[in-house]
Structure 1
Amino acid sequence: MSASPPRPSYAALFRMPHARRTFAAAMIGRLSYGVVALAMMLTTTRATGSYAVAGTVMALFGAASVFLSPARAALIDRYGPRRALIPMASLYAGLLTAFAVTAWRPGAPVPAVGALAVAAGACTPPLGPTMRAVWGEVIQDERLLQRAYSLDGVVEEILFVSGPLVVGAVVQTAPPAAAVALSALLVWSGTLAFVLSPLVAGVRPATAKAPSGGRPRQGGRPLRRALARPVVVASGVGLSLGAVDLLVMAFAERHHHGSGVVAWVLAALSLGSALGGLLNGAVDWRTAPGARLPLLAGALGLALLGAGLAQGLGALVVAVACAGFFVAPALTTSYLVADAAAPPGFRTQAGAWVNTAVNAGSSVGTAGAGLLVGRLPLGLCFAVSGAAAMAAALVCVRSARTPRPGADAGNGVAGGSRPEVTDGERLPG
């Protein structure tokens, strides 16, 4: 009997040539996304003197960034990271810099501020989906790919927690617009270092993979169908998370806690997510990612139902941390299933669709929670947020049981496992 291959660890990722350099560069660029939202909000508020204008500008920036993410990812797949990301990041950084200069002082023209914000959002480089696509290209061991995606998700969580702290440090000595300029510098320098990495240089664009130099095979309806399950789960997770942020604030207000309590409860959510993500990546699961996907979403929903029963702050912190424990695993598994569904040349787009679903769901969840808080008991609002994740889990299970014409049960897509690589060729910001 042959010996089983050694169990890969997180450290094995960084023993790959150029992996540390590539991952660090991507994280520098992605730190920009943790900085930019609060920085633009503070800058717009100071420049226009209106919270309503700031909210509208940020909504437009977010919508342009989120909903155009698959289109930007398609450019990465078609032309490759080097040819697409450098002009995209340069334009994005330039527009952020123009936004910072325009809104540096109070009295900035609102139309100019809004137009620059929308234009910048439309050009946001999809660094997260591209980094995951690079992992998918260079890692052939499914267990190691799971660890790469898990680590990627945990570090991204840390970056989004760290970003507001960076903004807070900048505004102690400079106008908020300086933090926007810093965000521009981070994304441009990080993207440049990322695309110049030899690891990224080895990723061929879809045009190079097309037979006889023709156009790459289009994903079309089969790809959209295969992505339905991870996108549904990601949107359900996003809906739940977007609602939780607002519900925690409402809980603190109704129980007469200070606003500082909100940060601690949300930190517990992030800590639970980080721990869950690391554990999920370290375990060699016997079940395929597609089978785990609805279970993780359902567990998140149950934990939020428990949060609705919390009568005190301590119980809420525990329940929210338990909910967080399933967030990173659910999203990581969604990316794995999307990666398995994507044919060569469509990996970045597949990841971008999952990323878009999370962010769009979060926005809808926040808006929905805002409508419900004043009309329903808070515990019931938490239950509704949990029901969104559970409904996504049920839809995922039902779609898995519905046969699709022409589906190949052994191709790894329906079950969520990664297809075997036999010829060296092998998946949003």
Structure 2
Amino acid sequence: MSAAPAPPSAAPSYAAVLRTRYACRTFGAALLGRLSYGMVSLSLILAVKDATGSYAVAGTVMALFGLTSVLLSPARAALVDRHGPRRALLPMAVGYALSLTALAVATSWPGVPGVLLGVLAVPAGVCTPPLGPVMRTLWSDLVPDRALLRRAYSLDAVAEELLFVTGPLLVGVVAQLATPSVGLAVSAVLVLTGSLTLISAPPVRGWKGHGKGSAASAPTGTEAGAESESESEAGVESGAGIGGGRGRRWHGDPRLRQAIAVSASVGICLGAFDLLVIAYADDHGAPGAIVAWALAAMSAGSAVGGLVHGAVPWRVGSGTRLAFLAAALGATLIATGFSPHPAVLVAGAAIGGLFISPALTTAYLIADEAADPATRTTAGAWVNTALNAGSSGATAAAGLVVGRLPLTLCFALAAVPVLLSAMTSLRAPRRRRASPPGPRPATAPCSRSAAR
């Protein structure tokens, strides 16, 4: 059975996205599995700390899990592209769930050796299913209209933002009712249930994967002339050579390099801000609750910004839009460093958040446009990896400079990478003009016959 594509809409809306055939079922399954990612980090830290009594061990175990999960994300996504979700995603989900269950059992025993927990954390990180990249690839197949696809990506980004707010709250509830190790078990159940439901959805059943070398032999006409929704609106080509039998890989595409660079720099801003807001509260004698308020305000701003970004009919190209969003985020972060009062800091965090989801949504759209049909999931995973790697690296770097440099200067330094990426993006060359804008052609049957 094939999933019929949503018809092009003269006035695309979020309701139209959700009315797309199989969209709610597929999106709901992916969100259920991704809720695990909103819970697992805090659950793991609390569970290891309770079991070992050591923050150092908890931090080390979390680092092992996080590094393997982030750094191997493109490799796992490549397996999905090559073999399809049913063959690649299922063993990842099972391995991830079993590893988390083993960690839940191990951390329920006080005095468990930290080495054992580290050994168990590594396979969990290795097997983390790329549910986000897979869902974004499915959106690209389910929604052929580029304006509607932008709304789908915005909705996806906002929902993911809310998951990472809801997840820690659920961990707090679980910790009150039981123990943090139960949170690990709940995370295992969520990811396994979500993944199984996702791979049973009709759009996924027809996604067979491309196998070795198939990108070079993509059928003639596969996404030939696909355009960036925003650059199509501006009359600028973004999709030349993506399909049409030429099999161009995305690795050398300057648009993807732009998306990865901006995503990494946004991650740097986010990772540094988490620590800088704590230092700000200490310097100004503000209550610890101000940290939670600032982070919540940034998340709320990101959600609002994402919804607005998806609803606006942009007339500028996606590359230009990404550059301006990055520049706005950097400028806001610098201004926030001069906040004379904690309330101003919270307001600055909310304003900065307005640009986060739109920037990431645009980066994911560019990655989808830059990739050929055989590498969409991998391209999106690189953007996601850049975000997470930038965040982790910035948190460590900020810890080295906070206390040694004026806090205002620390805020400015955190904004430098995103401002540089914005300036570099604005200098990126344009491509030749495209064919008239319109809905994207359906993907060739040999790649995902039931994906639409």
> For residue 89 of structure 1, what is the amino acid of its counterpart?
A
Aligned length: 410
Partner of 2:231: none
SS class of match (2:176): coil
Contact 1:25–1:191 at 8 Å: present in 2 too?
A: yes
Q: Distance in 2 between matches of 1:5 and 1:36?
A: 39
Deviation at 1:29, TM superposition (A): 0.2
The superposition leaves residues 11-45 of structure 1 with CA deviations (integer Å, 9 ceiling, x where unpaired) of: 00111111111111110100000000000000111
1:109 to 1:418, Cα distance in 2 relative to 1, 3 A: farther
Partner of 1:82: 86
1:35 maps onto 2:39 in alignment: yes
1:243 maps onto 2:272 in alignment: yes
Q: Distance in 2 between matches of 1:101 and 1:187?
A: 17
Deviation at 1:409, TM superposition (A): 3.0
Deviation at 1:424, TM superposition (A): 3.7
Partner of 1:186: 190
1:421 maps onto 2:425 in alignment: no
Partner of 1:149: 153
Deviation at 1:108, TM superposition (A): 0.7
Q: Distance in 2 between matches of 1:122 and 1:5?
A: 41
1:304 maps onto 2:327 in alignment: no
The superposition leaves residues 338-378 of structure 1 with CA deviations (integer Å, 9 ceiling, x where unpaired) of: 11000011110011000000000001111111111111111
Q: Distance in 1 between matches of 2:441 and 2:21?
A: 22
1:13 maps onto 2:25 in alignment: no
Contact 1:232–1:396 at 8 Å: present in 2 too?
A: no
1:129 maps onto 2:133 in alignment: yes
Which one of the candidate residues 331, 352, 358 is aligned to 2:360? 331
Deviation at 1:7, TM superposition (A): 1.0
SS class of match (1:287): coil
Partner of 2:181: 177
1:220 to 1:151, Cα distance in 2 relative to 1, 3 A: closer
Give the 5 Å matches for 1:349-364. 349-364=378-393
Q: Distance in 1 between matches of 2:251 and 2:319?
A: 19
**Which 4+ residue blocks in structure 1 deviate beyond 4 angstroms?**
208-213, 417-420
Which one of the candidate residues 266, 287, 292 is aligned to 2:316? 287
Contact 2:144–2:442 at 8 Å: present in 1 too?
A: no
TM-score (norm 2): 0.87
Q: CA RMSD in A?
A: 2.2
Q: Distance in 1 between matches of 2:437 and 2:152?
A: 14
The superposition leaves residues 47-79 of structure 1 with CA deviations (integer Å, 9 ceiling, x where unpaired) of: 111101111111111000000000000011011
Partner of 1:112: 116
Contact 2:9–2:148 at 8 Å: present in 1 too?
A: no
Deviation at 1:297, TM superposition (A): 0.2
Deviation at 1:220, TM superposition (A): 6.6
Contact 2:218–2:247 at 8 Å: present in 1 too?
A: no
1:418 to 1:111, Cα distance in 2 relative to 1, 3 A: farther
1:256 to 1:17, Cα distance in 2 relative to 1, 3 A: same
Deviation at 1:105, TM superposition (A): 2.0
Partner of 2:60: 56
The superposition leaves residues 103-152 of structure 1 with CA deviations (integer Å, 9 ceiling, x where unpaired) of: 11211111110011111001100000000000012211110110000000
Deviation at 1:261, TM superposition (A): 1.6
SS class of match (1:421): coil
Q: Distance in 2 between matches of 1:423 and 1:366?
A: 43
SS class of match (1:206): coil
Question: Share of identical aligned residues, percent?
Answer: 51
1:277 maps onto 2:306 in alignment: yes
Deviation at 1:226, TM superposition (A): 4.2
1:409 maps onto 2:409 in alignment: no
> For residue 366 of structure 1, what is the amino acid of its counterpart?
T
Partner of 1:94: 98
SS class of match (1:14): helix
Deviation at 1:274, TM superposition (A): 0.4
1:147 to 1:220, Cα distance in 2 relative to 1, 3 A: closer
Contact 2:99–2:120 at 8 Å: present in 1 too?
A: yes
Contact 1:339–1:418 at 8 Å: present in 2 too?
A: no
Gaps of 5+ in 2: 1-7, 220-245, 448-452
Contact 1:134–1:203 at 8 Å: present in 2 too?
A: no
Q: Distance in 2 between matches of 1:199 and 1:51?
A: 44
> For residue 284 of structure 1, what is the amino acid of its counterpart?
P
Q: Distance in 2 between matches of 1:418 and 1:64?
A: 41
Deviation at 1:219, TM superposition (A): 2.6
Which one of the candidate residues 71, 74, 79 is aligned to 1:67? 71
1:133 to 1:221, Cα distance in 2 relative to 1, 3 A: closer
